[in-house]
Structure 1
Amino acid sequence: MEETPLREFIVCGPFPHGSLTRNGFDPLLVEWVNPSEPLSEGAEVAGRKCFKASADASGVLDFAALFGESFKPFWRLEHGLAYAYAEVEVEGGSYVLLAGSEDGLAVYADGKRALLQPIARRFAPDFYAIPLRLKSGRARLLFKVSRLAGGWKLQAKLARVEAPFYVHTARAVKPDLVCGRREKVYVSLPLVAFEDLASATVRAGSGWRSSRVEVKRLRAGEEVPVALAVEPTQPPSGDEATLDLVVEGGGHREEVELKLRVVGEGEHRVETYLSRVDGSVHSYGLKPPKGVEPGREYGLLISLHGFKGHPYFSELYGEKEWLFVVGPSARDGEVPYREVGCLEVLEVLEWVAGRYPVDGDRVYLSGHSMGGYGTWFIGVRYPHLFAAIAPLSSRGDLSEDAARLRERRGWSGV
């Protein structure tokens, strides 16, 4: 499948964030540009002139760089909304628009809204797979990108799709494999339906053991992550392993490859688990202690990353002789450490403690910024699970939290 990166844009902005709405602070709900009309160089919108801009060599359009130094502070931005417009010559048919943004993103194709995602997240290329049905001629694509904090970017490319589905490999959740260790692991492969499908199936190819997973009733435009348990038939070796997957649906068969990193027993690695909350697959980082000894139990530190921070905080720690360090991913950074995010931390704790020799009396919880808030939130609600907590650069309801923590015998500093 040939992909066409979008590199030339007409940019307009920056515009103010907007105002509070009943849905919260969502600048994507405020319109400055009519999505049905094309943008042209030199046109003026609310006192802002539209201008040409090109993506860099990696296909990324950096709004913070385009608009100047005054738009680079991390927090409390007065202006945080920009438009980028592109036209592409296409033949009529089904297409997938792959896009990544930092932060929120709305997309309009030929004047019709195809995506509205206000979630603030760190930049990831091809994060969205947007199914489009385009007519022959010049397709008009308008991107609206909001910025809450940190970077402010857009990346997009267009690809023709002949199948009734698209396999969104950029969003696959996959683990690292440990050299010489043959074990069952979980992967997640998202499927985007271009038409209503009665069912679709996914299974592993040669060299792997797996069950055949069937997903029923996929609706057109829907993206469904398919969870799959796989096990290599031979112990992995080298630096990389290839997982071949076969996807079938709507009378079409497609084969895709996922590359899995192979690491040493003592190296930091990404592991996956199957959530009991919704049956989905998620990842966490794990740094094992130096030289795990048979029969010995080790401490466990769960370290929570901050807003748009490093996805696996565990990778930033030095090697410890007495401690496993685990970094939950907050479901790819999409959720804070409350409700579902809180349950994720508890599931990761249970999962790791069931796989490795963890001393239940030496389990610790820490985090920075958003992760520090999560440390407060989780620690005061489940104090029996942790020997100590260490929230860093964070906030919490100190009056309520301190009262709860005082009930935990042996804790101090509150």
Structure 2
Amino acid sequence: MLKFWNSRLLLFVVCFVCGSLSQAQKRQGNIVEYFGKEKVNEVKEGMVTHVFKEAVYLPTKRNALNSISFPTDKVFKNFLMTHKTVSEGEIGLVDHSGTTQRWTKIKVDSSSTFNSRVLRGSYVYLSYKSNKEDIVLFEASGHTQAIINGFPHEGDYYDFGYSLIPVQLKKGINVFVLKSGRFPRVRARLIKPKSPVLLTQRDMTLPDLLIGENINYKGAIRVINASPTWFKNYTIKAQHSGQVSVSEIPAIPPMSVRKVAFEIPTVGADATPQKSTMQLQLVGAKDWPLDKQQIAINIKSKNDKHKRTFVSKIDNSIQYFSVAPSSTHDLEDGALFLSVHGASVEAVNQANAYKQKDWGHVVAPTNRRPFGFAWEDWGRLDALEVLKEGKRIYQPNPQKIYLTGHSMGGHGTWYLGATYPDKFAAIAPCAGYPDLLGYRDSFVKRALSASEEELKRWGITPKMLEEMQKKPLLTDMDHMILRAGNPSRTLKLKRNYLQQGIYVLHGEKDNVVPTFIAREMREVLGKFHSDFTYYEYPGGTHWYGDHSMDWPPIFDLFKQRSIPVDSTIQKMEFYTASPGVSATSHFATIIQQQNPLEISSIDFNKEDGVKIDTENISVLELDLDAMRTNSKDLQIDTDTLEISSTGKIYLHNTNGSWSTGNKPSSKEKGPHRNGGFKDAFRNEMVFVYATKGTTQENEWYFNKARLDAETFYYRANGSVELVADVDFSPKAYPNRNIIIYGNSDNNSAWNKLLKHFPVQVKNNHVSLDGKEVKGNQWGLYFIAPRQDSNTASVGVISATGTNGMKAIYSNHYLLNGTSYPDLLLFSDGIMDYGTDAVKCAGFFGNDWSFERGEFTWN
């Protein structure tokens, strides 16, 4: 059965919640104009050689029971790994409702855009006949994905205008199949690159240069390798204000694009605020310049609002955050306000929305993109990295840290506040929803009983309402997969809010995040929380000016709240769904769970001796130095244990009986690495692809690794290193997460990292702790500990054959809102039947064994 909420309808909910549709529509005007200038054939990257003006499209209907994690898509499957061609009138699909859909002709409008309501969610088929083999750049926008001569590539669904894909054209017909996104328009053209390797200024990441700060500045620019060979041993030379910085850049695979870091010279103390120009050179052997670019950059006072950059520990990419520094220059022991933005909002605009405060600094992270990850998954990690950077730079009072945000950032405030309750003295969600899936359920319930006027105001059509009424039927397999998403179920962690003061701000007439969402949350808090303020701004819509975020009563509440010193805490509740996401509150750390990714909790009280009630905890750490108790006894659940008054102790739960013991081995699960599968994509991850298989296997595993790197670039402003298995040495990448593409027969890195793991994959065969599954149709994702490291993990994207390789291309593990446990085994039927094609899913035990884990089989 097809079990989960339809991915496109869920995407609509995200857009509706965040107000992103209108914002992206404003931005796309420049792109339409750019494509429409047919007389101008030259672009900075080369010459436009072809603009696609005719196509055929295939309508696709929403299926309310489709899975966001495992979407069914027969059209995608038909074009994958083939050179299939289609023509007008040809039957393309019989959809889930039994309706026959045919390929239909469509032409571009005056702006060279395929633009029609019927395109939303449809496939668009383009073809180009080349007289010879050639290399071009494929530029398109408005699409969620592209399949080019059978190879999938990431799309440009936010209309950023960033998409430039090097393509090896074959002589004859070349096929480009684009999946249209939420906007009913698609544009596409081919560009002959001006050179095999070049720079593009599209999507640069740059800091502001700050007068008087003698620091190492870093920026990032994309390098296009439009050649069939690796690009190695090159540098970027940055020249500014008479100074030069030279940066080595990493190797870039054939026919790919990577955003690379470079150093920027500092500015002198006598510089003046201005817009400046920096020259970048891409330099080869003997200092030969391959490309030059003039880059605009700002010089600012550190006391004015500005951007800063840093190196992310997720993937070594350059990320930026924006600051509204305190109006009190050289403020000491001040406050820090982490402000998380809404969808389509740049972090720089988030900081600009605030007046500078005399008692603290506003720091605004990016969520890795204006849309990003809704402050979950890698958006969550970005927020934590920026919080750490803000603390390092501004040295705030550790008890005066606060969290706020608007719209999607309001959700981020609810989510981050519940996930990390001890990091913030108070939170202030503005126009936010607490939980995406919880919002969906609440929204659907309200929509089904709403008036026609309300539905019209919310933008809900009769067809959408019909989709909402379809209820999913969940199996044991679905529940196992959904369990991996528990860290994102904010309301399951709601009692963590007891550690914070809360100010809820919402517009009285908000029609983007409807006001009833805030009222429901007020009711939830009212049942257990005594320290929150709720305010509806009279007549306020979703955005009613700067007071939508920069509302003085919020900061008045903040000023009256402080994070308590650990030793003063008499009572505390703490909940988590995963020690790998959130393990610690003050002096207590949940090291291991009994049931992976179910909710774990402690209820601590030392008003009359130390008492702790727990749920779903296998190992608990207490820092007695921080807790400062004179008690010699500790009551935990029904057991009483003798404790010392200093140091850290580890409490172990064995079949319901507690005892003190040693700290678990770092080789076991814990906060440092815990799963599920998506957790492998961090910690300076490296993608290692197979080269020891057949020509087809090698080609497709390389393309899958490149596709994931493209996806992480687009979704997360990322920069991932790709390495061939024959060039991989564990010693060269110590303590870094490794993602393996391939199996033990075709990826020579397998035995270096996974030889003794209980999951083994080779051609036509999978072994799960001795249980064998045979055939070439199986795909597999799993996470494992890296045995030569106490902290790093190995993520595996593997298949048993050609059909299994098709299966691994269809899922969305780099998208927030998706759920993947430690291991998933599925057949190539995944694109036809969704989760019914999952053979096995579950979690390894705390010792990473299959035997002590929890798994569901179909």
* TM-score category of the 2 structures, normalised to the smaller one: 0.7 to 0.9
Is residue 195 from structure 1 mapped to residue 195 from structure 2 by the alignment? no
In the alignment, the residues of structure 2 paired with residue 22 and residue 287 of structure 1 have an alpha-carbon distance, to the nearest angstrom, of 37
In the TM superposition, residue 357 of structure 1 has moved relative to its aligned partner by 5.8
* Cα 1:114/1:407, change in 2 over 3 Å: same
Q: Partner letter of residue 412 of structure 1?
A: D
Q: What is the aligned counterpart of 1:373 among 385, 408, 411?
A: 411
Is residue 53 from structure 1 mapped to residue 107 from structure 2 by the alignment? yes
In the TM superposition, residue 11 of structure 1 has moved relative to its aligned partner by 4.5
Write the deviation string for residues 261-312 of structure 1: whole angstroms up to 9, x where unpaired: 31543554332111123221112233334x4423455433222234x42132
Is residue 262 from structure 1 mapped to residue 291 from structure 2 by the alignment? no
Is residue 272 from structure 1 mapped to residue 295 from structure 2 by the alignment? no
Aligned length: 388
In the alignment, the residues of structure 2 paired with residue 91 and residue 373 of structure 1 have an alpha-carbon distance, to the nearest angstrom, of 52
Q: What is the aligned counterpart of 1:82 among 123, 138, 161?
A: 123
**Matched residue SS, 2:259:** strand
Q: What is the aligned counterpart of 1:67 among 107, 113, 117?
A: 117
Give TM-score scaled by structure 2 length: 0.40
* Cα 1:160/1:121, change in 2 over 3 Å: closer
In the alignment, the residues of structure 1 paired with residue 53 and residue 109 of structure 2 have an alpha-carbon distance, to the nearest angstrom, of 7
**Matched residue SS, 1:374:** helix
User: Any conservation in 1 of the 2:339–2:404 contact (CA below 8 Å)?
Assistant: yes
**Matched residue SS, 2:532:** coil
The answer for the alignment partner of 1:219 in structure 2 is 253
Q: What is the aligned counterpart of 1:303 among 297, 319, 339?
A: 339
Q: What is the aligned counterpart of 1:294 among 321, 330, 334?
A: 330
In the TM superposition, residue 83 of structure 1 has moved relative to its aligned partner by 0.9
* Cα 1:13/1:305, change in 2 over 3 Å: farther
In the TM superposition, residue 236 of structure 1 has moved relative to its aligned partner by 6.7
User: Any conservation in 1 of the 2:368–2:379 contact (CA below 8 Å)?
Assistant: yes
User: Any conservation in 2 of the 1:245–1:256 contact (CA below 8 Å)?
Assistant: yes
**Matched residue SS, 1:373:** helix
The answer for the alignment partner of 1:283 in structure 2 is 320
Is residue 329 from structure 1 mapped to residue 379 from structure 2 by the alignment? no
In the TM superposition, residue 406 of structure 1 has moved relative to its aligned partner by 1.8
**Matched residue SS, 2:205:** coil
The answer for the alignment partner of 1:342 in structure 2 is 380
Write the deviation string for residues 348-383 of structure 1: whole angstroms up to 9, x where unpaired: 112123223644433221234443333233222322
User: Any conservation in 2 of the 1:273–1:282 contact (CA below 8 Å)?
Assistant: yes
Q: Partner letter of residue 81 of structure 1?
A: S
The answer for the alignment partner of 1:169 in structure 2 is 201
**Matched residue SS, 2:345:** coil
User: Any conservation in 2 of the 1:169–1:258 contact (CA below 8 Å)?
Assistant: no
The answer for the alignment partner of 2:355 in structure 1 is 319
In the TM superposition, residue 317 of structure 1 has moved relative to its aligned partner by 1.4
Q: What is the aligned counterpart of 2:145 among 101, 105, 122?
A: 105
Q: What is the aligned counterpart of 2:166 among 115, 131, 153?
A: 131
Structure 1 unmatched runs, 5+: 72-78
The answer for the alignment partner of 1:20 in structure 2 is 66
Is residue 37 from structure 1 mapped to residue 85 from structure 2 by the alignment? yes
Q: Partner letter of residue 296 of structure 2?
A: L
Write the deviation string for residues 290-346 of structure 1: whole angstroms up to 9, x where unpaired: x4423455433222234x421325146142333433332221244342333222111
The answer for the alignment partner of 1:75 in structure 2 is none
User: Any conservation in 2 of the 1:20–1:26 contact (CA below 8 Å)?
Assistant: yes
* Cα 1:14/1:225, change in 2 over 3 Å: same
The answer for the alignment partner of 2:432 in structure 1 is 393
In the TM superposition, residue 388 of structure 1 has moved relative to its aligned partner by 1.1
Q: Partner letter of residue 377 of structure 1?
A: Y
The answer for the alignment partner of 2:618 in structure 1 is none
In the alignment, the residues of structure 1 paired with residue 245 and residue 131 of structure 2 have an alpha-carbon distance, to the nearest angstrom, of 39
In the alignment, the residues of structure 2 paired with residue 9 and residue 405 of structure 1 have an alpha-carbon distance, to the nearest angstrom, of 55
Q: What is the aligned counterpart of 1:245 among 269, 281, 289?
A: 281
User: Any conservation in 1 of the 2:132–2:171 contact (CA below 8 Å)?
Assistant: yes
User: Any conservation in 1 of the 2:130–2:170 contact (CA below 8 Å)?
Assistant: no
In the alignment, the residues of structure 1 paired with residue 257 and residue 286 of structure 2 have an alpha-carbon distance, to the nearest angstrom, of 16
Q: Partner letter of residue 99 of structure 1?
A: A
Q: Partner letter of residue 310 of structure 2?
A: Y
Q: Partner letter of residue 433 of structure 2?
A: S
Give TM-score scaled by structure 1 length: 0.77
The answer for the alignment partner of 1:76 in structure 2 is none
In the TM superposition, residue 145 of structure 1 has moved relative to its aligned partner by 2.4
In the alignment, the residues of structure 2 paired with residue 285 and residue 203 of structure 1 have an alpha-carbon distance, to the nearest angstrom, of 25
In the alignment, the residues of structure 2 paired with residue 381 and residue 80 of structure 1 have an alpha-carbon distance, to the nearest angstrom, of 34
In the alignment, the residues of structure 2 paired with residue 399 and residue 134 of structure 1 have an alpha-carbon distance, to the nearest angstrom, of 51
In the alignment, the residues of structure 2 paired with residue 225 and residue 12 of structure 1 have an alpha-carbon distance, to the nearest angstrom, of 33
In the alignment, the residues of structure 2 paired with residue 385 and residue 371 of structure 1 have an alpha-carbon distance, to the nearest angstrom, of 17
In the TM superposition, residue 23 of structure 1 has moved relative to its aligned partner by 4.3
User: Any conservation in 1 of the 2:46–2:194 contact (CA below 8 Å)?
Assistant: no
In the alignment, the residues of structure 1 paired with residue 134 and residue 272 of structure 2 have an alpha-carbon distance, to the nearest angstrom, of 42
In the alignment, the residues of structure 2 paired with residue 26 and residue 390 of structure 1 have an alpha-carbon distance, to the nearest angstrom, of 39
* Cα 1:29/1:412, change in 2 over 3 Å: farther
In the TM superposition, residue 403 of structure 1 has moved relative to its aligned partner by 1.9
In the TM superposition, residue 249 of structure 1 has moved relative to its aligned partner by 7.4
Larger Rg over CA atoms: 2
Q: Partner letter of residue 128 of structure 2?
A: E
In the alignment, the residues of structure 2 paired with residue 176 and residue 98 of structure 1 have an alpha-carbon distance, to the nearest angstrom, of 30
**Percent of aligned pairs with the same amino acid:** 16
Relative to its length, the structure with more helix (as a share) is: 2
**Matched residue SS, 1:350:** helix
The answer for the alignment partner of 2:498 in structure 1 is 406
* Cα 1:145/1:255, change in 2 over 3 Å: same
RMSD of the alignment, in Å?
3.8
In the alignment, the residues of structure 2 paired with residue 352 and residue 345 of structure 1 have an alpha-carbon distance, to the nearest angstrom, of 10
Q: Partner letter of residue 375 of structure 1?
A: T
In the TM superposition, residue 162 of structure 1 has moved relative to its aligned partner by 6.3
User: Any conservation in 2 of the 1:245–1:257 contact (CA below 8 Å)?
Assistant: yes
User: Any conservation in 2 of the 1:199–1:250 contact (CA below 8 Å)?
Assistant: no
* Cα 1:206/1:199, change in 2 over 3 Å: same
The answer for the alignment partner of 1:2 in structure 2 is 46
In the alignment, the residues of structure 1 paired with residue 311 and residue 423 of structure 2 have an alpha-carbon distance, to the nearest angstrom, of 21
In the alignment, the residues of structure 2 paired with residue 204 and residue 251 of structure 1 have an alpha-carbon distance, to the nearest angstrom, of 10
* Cα 1:206/1:242, change in 2 over 3 Å: closer
In the TM superposition, residue 124 of structure 1 has moved relative to its aligned partner by 0.3
In the alignment, the residues of structure 1 paired with residue 57 and residue 380 of structure 2 have an alpha-carbon distance, to the nearest angstrom, of 39
In the alignment, the residues of structure 2 paired with residue 331 and residue 354 of structure 1 have an alpha-carbon distance, to the nearest angstrom, of 20
